Structure 1
């Protein structure tokens, strides 16, 4: 094969193409790992993988819209094989007054036992402790909110909210028992947690909930269940929604990230094609006299073209071997070591953990196949050029 007569040039071309393939494998693995981490942080922090509300609640935030037929819904959820755990919540916007000042708050009433194992609120406590079953007067506040209100552990605060049915203002007093820090603006600066029964009494909703948050088994960051699950719980005046519907901005950004990876891949393959064409033409011009002789002794144009395409395929396989080896080693090492993106905000989600690139079989099947096909396509132009050579011109010009 002519391309391999100049080992240095072929090695450099193979390395260039192989490094490009390795970069594509690593980038894809990094994007998968980042997407999984972002979705996991967004869902595990507090929201859950999906939620059940009364129909129209997420749109209107009407406090009178509570989950319909609650006992039956809970019984069915507990019997679902894909459901791992649930959490019951009520919520209300309100005014939080401290001895120094006041501010707005989104107050969640949560079941201490369920919420402790469902979300990461307990892990985010930086001062004080999480709610206990008998903590009827304890409230947890975000660090930024507590700072703005100039309060700390043990301070008393008054929550003012509108009753769900009558709309009349109701007040209750709490003692700050914990301060949490998620490094998420919305949570740290405007959210509080109290015992669910206390908030239910404040709103005049004994035994009712606004939200059932759901965690699924084996959640991978994609849709955890089929459409049948959501339709089963979107009946009798309720609606069930996945995290993609609850956070459409995040879903759109992740989809765009996949599209961006596709664009990077196309650009990379275009560069690979140019490298292949350049290498093949250099080899072709170096051996032009030999090709002229081959044409002179009766070698058919199709045969000449096949020779060039065969060289392109051989160079591609050589490059793929290099690229797969480099891509596997680099991605595998970082999948163990991880990449620290802590503190960086992406699509409204603040990363708080290491990002681990993901190795998948498709990366070593799809991408190399695309490189091979692009190489053959790129080799068509040099192949056609070689097939159209005039023997006399080639032998005279390049002798």
Structure 2
């Protein structure tokens, strides 16, 4: 990936796709071919529209696609892409989520009993932090006007940063420039300004935690052998490590262990995130919830994904008139199954979201003998949501107010990249 494309991709991920990627974001060649064929057919039948140039509208369209992706992934994570797989996902529990959270990642078809684990956390993995000198923020920088550079060694890679200091620039202006420079580089380092009584300091923090065997730092800053003028590291104090990185320390069923990260797997069964230190002598129990609790959790996650999507679309009601059409369609899908959903404790609200009567839902789940029979209508509802999310993801421009130029000649139209190019260009706009 070239430097410009890399910048575009990083901007897309940080601006439009804050949600973490999942295994459902990878696709087989056959799936990609199917998407391609759908795009070709879509572009063949679409009328011609004037290009959309509004930045707000462009961001709305990209966000709409990402929210559709999020809804699809929610359904996929509940087994909705597999026949008879929906709502059979097992749920994990943690007796103290202030110490650790747990997600079951083992096989849903496993016939063996899943064991419980006793987890006790002694220390969390920490990041490395370098804190520079506190300089008078509005004071004139003592660095002579010139082009400076310094090197950062991180993950066994060396990166050189170059910047200029102009005549009369203040310390804070120089520091803020370096904050932008470092954060835009995306090398696993985050920069920020620390302030105290009118003085500012440049803080560098690693994104990674812990230390690999034989290493005593995550990153190091130096300008001893840099290509441009040196002196910035000493003046700003960038080489001072204010907090060393450290590994997580914990025990599982009495066995003492360490980890570079606060994210780990227990027995290839549970995905664990360490969140705090255990009270002395009080281990946290990790295990599987009962089938009724797991089923209830699955329904909560489905409804949560649906509500998040509707609320995201509703947030554009005042600025994007076509978002009303999407909300009406979502409400229409839910209303089709309205009476069936109500018997499970799911009630359609005026704004298009679903409210959950926890007691009714739990009673329904507890009395379930056959998931397909009891929750059949909810499965059909989720299948409709899956199709709608695919449709929105394929062409979010359907819900953008745009000016039509002309219909295509019926019977004589042909595939063209117009609609998809207009959408894709939104992510690249401004980089070329």
Taking structure 2 as the reference length, the TM-score comes to: 0.25
Taking structure 1 as the reference length, the TM-score comes to: 0.26
